[in-house]
Amino acid sequence: MASPEAPTADKFQILPEESKKSKDADSMLLVVFVILANFIAFISLGLAIVGVAQNGSNVYNIGTSSGSDNGFSSGTWSGGFSSGTWSGGFSSGTWSGGFSSGEKIWIFQIGHYVGNTQYLDESSGTIKGYNVDVVNAVCQLANKNCALVWDLYENCWDSQVGQRARGGKGLMGSWYHACVGWANTRDRARTYLFSSSFEKSLSPAYFVKKGGSFDFFPNFSGKKVGILDGWSVDEHCLARYNDVTGFDETDVMQVTHYGSEDDIIAALSSDTIDVAFVPRTPYFDMSQMVEYTGEPGEDLCVIGGPAMMMRKDQFELRTWWDAFFEKLIATSQYNDICDNVEETHGDQPGFDKEYVCVV
Ligand SMILES: *[C@@H]1O[C@H](CO)[C@@H](O)[C@H](O)[C@H]1NC(C)=O
């Protein structure tokens, strides 16, 4: 397992190479222009934030409770520009000192599958749910500016039939610092860093069509299996169960990925697939078209429940997130957040708070 020192060691190997370049006058000029451009960009960003913060509410979080959007509008820019230092050096090209750490904006991806942890609230046009409430509260406690960015889940974790799943281009490509609410798995842990878990995992489950048969279990030979694309409950996990026979996780004839719960339900109903191996989401549970046939026993799909999933260079984020999430769960505010799973978000499909909250 990589220690926090590992990235630093890598950087030391890169630095001497890069510093040679800066002796070259042209490169030096370019570097100066890049710094200048970055600095102007940061000032512009700062001014933009000052511009939208004129309502004066001084909160360092995403403004969901006030009914504003999930962006910056309720944030106040209190730092000013003069305290920033360029501590990254030329070679790594990052503004790592920045405005003091309390003023950096942390960007988190979020999507909306149907459920009380992440859903699109049509009346406000914003994403709401238990996950949003947790992000909001942790960012407030930590005094960090955080913003949620809606994006496709596949941009966090990309999973294609017949191939190994891999990091999504959004998270790998630094479009955001983390993706919210991803279970830790052995596949994902090779690619990403995870915070401590802030939610209980959904169990892996088998669903067949309403009135359909699951008598073939555990012999999957000749059976077609539907997988919910990108989730921890996938064909690689199914292949880990020793009691299952006749299943080949790399066989594109046997395994089909679907983008949504509705697509899986349609595929079961039309006999395109015989069985779905999926997380037991509230949406599947509530569907009149499919039938829950049980869980495979021990959960071999995850090694940790839903968490913040981030690149392996995000030790700073993981450190403050874990520290302040631990503080949060010791407060009555966390009880309120858990009550809201059934109250504020109670009109959404979902499990009761004891199956969502970690304490
Ligand atoms: C599994 O099912 C296939 C196809 O129905 C059958 O040919 C095979 O003998 C079965 N294997 C076992 C171990 O029952």
**Rounded to an integer, what distance in angstroms lies between the CA atom of residue 159 and that of residue 231?**
8
Calpha distance 193→277 (Å, rounded): 26
Q: Is 221 in the pocket of ligand 1 (CB under 6 A)?
A: yes
Averages of pLDDT over each 10 residues, the chain, 359 residues = 30 29 41 47 40 30 43 38 38 38 84 86 93 96 95 91 89 98 92 96 93 95 94 92 95 93 96 96 89 89 95 97 98 97 91 90
Rounded to the nearest whole angstrom, what is the distance from the C-alpha of residue 307 to the centroid of ligand 1?
40
Pairing of strands 157-158, 166-167: antiparallel
Residue with the smallest CA separation from ligand 1 atom 4 is 221
User: Ligand 1: which residue has its CA nearest to atom 2?
Assistant: 221
Instruction: For the chain, report the end-to-end CA distance as a whole number of angstroms.
Output: 28
Q: Which pair of structure tokens corresponds to residue 209?
A: 């069509």
Q: How far is CA 205 from CA 118, 145, 218, 233, 353, in A?
A: 21, 38, 13, 8, 20
What's the pLDDT tens digit per position in 112-139? 876 899 999 999 999 999 999 999 999 9
User: What pLDDT sits at residue 9?
Assistant: 27
Q: Which atom of ligand 1 is nearest to the CA of 219?
A: 1
In whole angstroms, what is the distance from residue 281 CA to residue 290 CA? 12
Residue 245 Cα: closest atom of ligand 1: 13
Find the angle CA(226)-CA(257)-CA(229) to the nearest 5 degrees: 110
pTM: 0.64
Backbone angles phi, psi at 186, to 5 degrees: -70, -30
